[in-house]
Amino acid sequence: MIGSKLYRTKSCADSITWASQHLIDAPHGSVFLADSLESAHGRGGRVWIWQPGQLAVTIILKPKTFNLSSVEDLPIRLNQLNMAISLGIQTVLSEYGVGLKWPNDFVLNNKKVGGLLFKVVWQNNFPTGIILGFGININNEFKPTDELFDIATSLKQELGNELEMRAIYKNLLHSMNEFYKKWLVGAFDEIYKPWRKAQLNLGKKLKINLTSDKTISGTMLQVMPNGDIILIDEAGKQQIIPFYTVQETLVV
């Protein structure tokens, strides 16, 4: 169960690293919470500056089974797990109008309110554990002089009132656990369909920065059940962009 054990500290450098140090001894579903983070990083290794009022949660998952028909299905099942967790988060945040920006961002009023990191730890070509880290801007605020003001926001900033972080935290754990259970038994339609519906950028023109330092521009046509997208590029050709190759997605 997600939330089976809580590790808590006042401060740490990076909760992903902290959780990694407990991968062997921590039980499945363990949650790592720090009141402040000193040197956290987001997707692509970008520096993530912690502010009071943000909720930062790291979770260790140790699935006993991946329901594989063959070992070749493992990457797809991992992508589906990523979808399940991101949908579990978005389902709670949808109450405030938050949607998904492929691949792993949470967006409100065209600004980012959070993101999800998904790290797989491998041994002998098979995952021994999965470390999830997500941050949600809840009661922090971005000033016009802040570097991220034009692209980031918080629930408080958009809704005009402070929210109860503890209640949101509890709801997030419950929701993620429910979608994790659906993934565990292979009920993928109950994940993929609402995950696809929550995507905000379908039909929009995107600029996608890849981990290979290449950039692709085009219109997002579809999100596929394996997590990849179909993009119509500027030459009118369809391209499949794999889920794991993306560093950043921008709407243009």
Give the domain CATH number at 214.
Answer: 2.30.30.100
Q: Name the packing angle between helices 74-93 and 189-197 (round to 10°).
A: 60
Mean pLDDT of 147-171: 96
- Residue 97 maps to a domain: yes
Q: What distance in Å separates the CA atoms of residue 87 and residue 177, rounded to the nearest whole number?
A: 11
Which residues constitute the domain of residue 240? 205-251
pLDDT digits (tens, 9 = 90+) for 78-88: 999 999 999 99
Q: 190 and 212 share a domain?
A: no
Confidence band of 76 (pLDDT split at 50, 70, 90): confident
Q: 102 and 227 share a domain?
A: no
Q: 129 and 166 share a domain?
A: yes
Which amino acid, 212? S
Q: Specify the pTM.
A: 0.93
Q: 185 and 211 share a domain?
A: no
